[in-house]
Amino acid sequence: MSLIAIIDDQITNRRIYARLAASIVPDANVESFADPIKALEWSKENIPDIVISDFKMGTMNGAAFTAAFRAQEGCEDVPVIIVTAFEDKSFRYRALDAGATDFITSPVDAREFGTRLRNLLRLRRNQLDLQKHGAKLQEKLEKNTRLGDQALRQSEEMLRLVIDTVPALISATDGNSNFEFVNRKLAETLRVEPDDAVGKTVGDLMGQEFGRRSQEVDKQVFESGQTIAAIEEDFEDVSGDTRTLLTTKSPLRDQDGGVRNVVTVSLDITERKEAERQLHKLSSAVA
Domain limits of the chain? 3-108, 140-271
Residues 99-110, mean pLDDT to the nearest whole number? 86
Residues constituting the chain: 287
For residue 114, is pLDDT > 60?
yes
For 68, list phi and psi in degrees, rounded to 5: -65, -40
pTM of model > 0.85 = no
Q: What is the pLDDT of residue 159?
A: 63
Q: Among 256, 250, 229, 258, which residue's Cα sits nearest to residue 173?
A: 250
User: DSSP secondary-structure letter at 47?
Assistant: -
Q: Which residues of 268-285 are buried (b: 16+ CB within 10 A; e: fewer)?
A: bbeebbeebeeeeeebee
In CATH, 3-108 is 3.30.470.10: no
Tell me what the mean pLDDT of segment 77-93 comes to: 80
- Indicate the CATH number for domain 140-271: 3.30.450.20
Determine the residue type at 9: D
pLDDT of residue 26: 84
Q: Tell me the per-residue pLDDT of 120-151, one tens digit each, with 9 for 90 and over.
A: 888 888 878 877 777 777 777 777 666 555 65
Q: Are 142 and 252 in contact (CB under 8 A)?
A: yes
Type of residue numbered 184: R
Overall average pLDDT of the 145-167 stretch: 65
Give per-residue pLDDT as tens, 169-226: 999 999 999 999 999 999 999 999 989 999 999 999 999 999 999 999 999 999 999 9
Residue 36 has what pLDDT?
93
